[in-house]
Amino acid sequence: MEHTTLKIEGMTCQHCVHAVQNRLAKMPGVKVGEVKIGSAVIERDPAVATIDAIAEAIADEGYTLST
């Protein structure tokens, strides 16, 4: 598992925090840590949960993964 801090644009409130948290929690190979407005700390299996897949999931919820 790889420790990864995601920077996420478009999050403004606790609703956003929960949306991101729930979406990431559904992803195979992802263990969700602390999620705050603008960022999420996760542990991920890089072979299963690629950054591209995570970016797509975040985009599904209406937010943008920034690098």
Residues that bind Cu ion (CB under 5 A): 12-13, 15-16
Rounded to the nearest whole angstrom, what is the least distance from the CB of residue 12 to Cu ion in the complex? 4
5-32 burial, b at 16+ Cβ within 10 Å, e below that, comes to ebebebbeeeebbebbeebbeebebbeb
Rounded to the nearest whole angstrom, what is the least distance from the CB of residue 3 to Cu ion in the complex? 26
**3 vs 15, beta carbon nearer Cu ion:** 15
For residue 29, give the DSSP letter: T
Rounded to the nearest whole angstrom, what is the least distance from the CB of residue 13 to Cu ion in the complex? 3
**49 vs 57, beta carbon nearer Cu ion:** 57
Q: What's the chain's length in residues?
A: 67
